[in-house]
A and B are shown apart, each in its own frame.
Chain A
Amino acid sequence: MSEPAAGPLKRTPLYELHRELGARIVPFAGYEMPVQYPTGILVEHAHTRNACGLFDVSHMGQVRLTAQAGHTAAKALETLVPADIVGLQPGQQRYTQFTNEAGGILDDLMVTSTGDHLQLVVNAACKGADLAHIKAKLSDACEIEPMFGRGLLALQGPQAVTVLSRLAPSVAGMKFMTGTFVVIDGARCYVTRSGYTGCDGYEISTPADATDAIARKLLSHPEVKPIGLGARDSLRLEAGLCLYGHDIDTTTTPVEAVLLWSVGKERRIQGGFPGAAVVQKQIAEGAPRKRVGLLPEGKAIAREGAEIVISGKTVGIVTSGGFAPTLGRAIAMGYVERAQSANGTKVELLVRGKPVPAEIVPMPFVKHTYYRG
């Protein structure tokens, strides 16, 4: 068989709500997910940047790691990821990657320490493989609990703090990349001040059976509108954030992807994660290629797969590209040979065979507005 048999599509706890709201539902990572609501992606995108958007990200995988007697979960997880997890204080959250022996990225994830255990949030499309990977490597040291049935809501935008603090006043003082347990609408939830839009906001992990009621409660606030996967993608691209399977995958290392900021300083020296030798060599000598931002001239949109050319020679490829509603123009990111990766470098992007002049620019394209206290 050339293709795996597609199983029945799964639904999140908010499926009925999406239908009621008039969402266009599409298959995504094995789930029936809302790509947009009737107002459309441009309105949803702007609403998130200007007010507050509610995203259903319950398809993502939540996993809890608890140390077995005589072990520490953080130390165990460090054998799979390059971030400093041991140094993660209770209530702190960190972004990292599962790496393979070649230094490639199996998935990217968020890790939060609650003090008692570690909570991971991994990508929907990878969660089965991630769980198998964790079980194979960490079962001796950790109790591994997949919590794939839980809900996960992202409340994003400048008014997210106003809205969520009406329901849970303690969240107002939280800083970016921290987490805490709060009771919302009678349900015990785990809230982190994080997200994937570049905006201030929260992700709220909810018990499965409380997810629908909490989502409806949030939507009852006048600032909040439901936002689909379409705007989620345009928001994260403007924020210069990587989409797994596109901008990062098993063939890209954290160094090439310019994610070195997420690799612990001690760990760069001491290693101890899969592919450490490759990553250390790239840190010392430079990676062969680098992820860069690209600003095409004019209106044409260079999408994933467009070749990046200098003087007729292909020097790289676009991995994400689209229209940036906040900027009213096309943006893209991709990989280029390191020698050609300096900001300000003029390149051409081949869009349907036609060269479109573009420039390598720093990211993010739209300034992050995280709340750092």
Chain B
Amino acid sequence: MADVKYSEEHEWIRVEGDTGTIGITQYAQEQLGDVVFVDVPAASRKVAKGEAVAVVESVKAASDIYAPVSGEVIESNAALADTPGDVNAEPMGKGWFFKIKMSDKGELAGLMDEAAYAAFVKGLG
């Protein structure tokens, strides 16, 4: 069973073996409002944990998306170019951003599980 972790920057990562699929959370998409463009990283790009790797544009503003873990991008969600609204409709499904081959799975320990993230969001008011 896949394990999902969350960052304080409101990204989720679904872990399957060495691969992590990354997107933004329901809370993040609600805060952003209607998403109109997502700039996803190219495959084979090496990214460091905490690095700004993607940009999500809503009608209101542009927001950076940070890599929750280090590794190499192996695939990005090309469908978002035509249907950026998927991020609003299914942020943890069709609205995923990119997949990464993790270089250090130990970094996952610094992320939150679902309960901890729910408490974190609640604390934001």
Q: Which residues of A contact B (CB under 8 A)?
A: 35-36, 40-42, 45, 230, 234, 299-301, 303, 322-323, 325, 330, 352
Contact = CB atoms under 8 A, between A and B. Distances in A.
A299 B81 CA distance: 8
Contacts of A299: 37, 81
A49 B56 CA distance: 26
A230 B61 CA distance: 10
B47 interface: no
Contact of A41 (B39, B59, B62): B59
B34 A301 contact: no
Nearest to B52: A352
Interface in B29-63: 33-34, 36-37, 39, 55, 57-62
A146 to B, nearest CB: 31
8 contacts: A41-B34, A41-B58, A42-B59, A300-B37, A300-B39, A301-B37, A323-B36, A352-B62
A35 B57 contact: no
Contacts of A325: 59
B33 A303 contact: no
Contacts of B81: 299
Interface string B101-121: 000000000000000000000
Nearest to A301: B57
A102 to B, nearest CB: 32
Nearest to A36: B33
Contact of A230 (B39, B57, B60, B62): B60
Contacts of B88: 40
A35 B60 contact: yes
A352 B33 contact: no
A323 B33 contact: no
A303 B37 CA distance: 13
A35 B57 CA distance: 17
A42 B35 CA distance: 9
Given A42-B34, A42-B36, 6 more contacts: A36-B33, A45-B59, A230-B33, A299-B81, A330-B37, A352-B62
Contacts of A301: 36-37, 57, 62
Nearest to A228: B33
Interface string B18-37: 00000000000000011011
Contacts of A40: 33-34, 88
Contact of B33 (A41, A300, A322, A330): A41
B49 to A, nearest CB: 20
Contacts of A35: 60
Interface string B63-104: 000000000000000000100000010000000000000000
Contacts of A322: 59
A322 B58 CA distance: 9
Contacts of A36: 33
A322 B37 CA distance: 11
Nearest to A352: B55
Contacts of A41: 33-34, 58-60
A221 B70 CA distance: 54
A325 B57 CA distance: 13
Contacts of A323: 36-37, 57, 59
Nearest to B36: A323
A234 B57 CA distance: 14
Contacts of A234: 59
A152 B39 CA distance: 39
B3 to A, nearest CB: 32
B37 A230 contact: no
Contacts of B39: 300
Contacts of B34: 40-42
A33 to B, nearest CB: 14
Contacts of B62: 301, 303, 352
Nearest to A299: B37
B98 to A, nearest CB: 17
A322 B34 CA distance: 12
A303 B81 CA distance: 19
B59 A230 contact: yes
B33 to A, nearest CB: 6
B76 to A, nearest CB: 14
Contacts of A230: 33, 59-60
Nearest to B85: A42
Contacts of B57: 300-301, 323
A41 B35 CA distance: 10
A15 B73 CA distance: 47
